Amino acid sequence: MTYGEPDVDQAIDRLLSAHPEVDAAAGGALDNLDQFHIGGAEAVDLLIPGLALAEGDVILDVGSGFGGPARQIARRTGNHVVGVDITAAYVEAARELTARAGLSDSVRFHTGDIASFHPDAPFAAALTLHVQMNVPDKTAWFRHIAERLAPGARLAVWEVCRPHPADLPWPMPWSLDGTDSFVVPPEELLASLQDAGFTPVEWANESAWVKEWLDTTFAHGLPPGPALPMLLDDGYTRVLNYASALTDGTLEVWRGTFTRKSA
């Protein structure tokens, strides 16, 4: 199983203990550690305007991982965020990091699949970053998200696509050997979103932005301090393989904003 690291919370404790200069309660202090997607915190900032949030809106983060985007949105906007993820160890780590950041009152997490998650009220907005690559039936999965949103609610996505058939170098961040990877062309992913009940507001290829982000972020080598690959099995190989595939055009990153149809 790709997301099978059982001791993530202990690894985080060790990393933060080894770096006492990192104040988890400071905004952005954990950005290199808790953002499980290319583009880091800057990518989340690209998505926030498209959510069109109003005061009091509650946001759903599907595939919330270690909780970095959820906490970032809560800090940036003051809105409450609910994260859902299938990996229990990741949810525990997200809760621990959220407590360290002092955001437990505004960000909470549930373990489970979106299909089995039943909120008390529909959400005003949702986002998902680098999740659908592991989902074979994307239309059904996005439909489950739509069913948990209010009519007219916004969905923001930051997702990986494969523009043409090509072999990928394994392991990748979302798959160790490719057996649980289901990366599709951008037009196929867009069609799945539309078939699931979403109307596109914006659908943009952000691969050039991602390449620039990679060049800037790693211009002087690896960033100092605790970093996400330290939490993953063979983490640095996975990240390097992903960066290589993005650089040579084998993979692309697409950003989308959608509205849930009223009926």
Instruction: For the chain, give every domain's residue range.
Output: 8-260
pTM (predicted TM-score): 0.90
Q: Residue 7's closest CA among 109, 98, 88?
A: 88
pLDDT at 12 over 70: no
Average pLDDT, the chain: 88
pLDDT at residue 90, as a whole number: 87
Q: In angstroms, what CA-CA distances link 246 with 38, 128, 219?
A: 10, 19, 16
pLDDT at 21 over 80: no
Provide long-range contacts, Cβ within 8 A and 24+ apart, for 140-144. 140/196, 141/114, 141/115, 141/196, 142/192, 142/193, 142/196, 142/197, 142/198, 143/195, 143/196, 143/197, 144/114, 144/115
For residues 90 and 111, give the distance between their C-alpha atoms in angstroms, rounded to a whole number.
9
Q: Give the pair of three-digit tokens for residue 190.
A: 């867009």
Torsion angle, CA of 129/261/109/135, rounded to 10 degrees? -50
pLDDT at 15 over 90: no
Amino acid at 191: A
Q: Residue 141's closest CA among 88, 182, 82?
A: 182
Which tops the pLDDT comparison, 60 or 213? 60
pLDDT at 229 over 70: no
3-state secondary structure at position 60:
strand
pLDDT at 226 over 80: no
The mean pLDDT value for 38-48 works out to: 93
Phi/psi of residue 158, nearest 5 degrees: -135, 100
pLDDT at residue 239, as a whole number: 85
**What CATH number was assigned to the domain covering residues 8-260?**
3.40.50.150
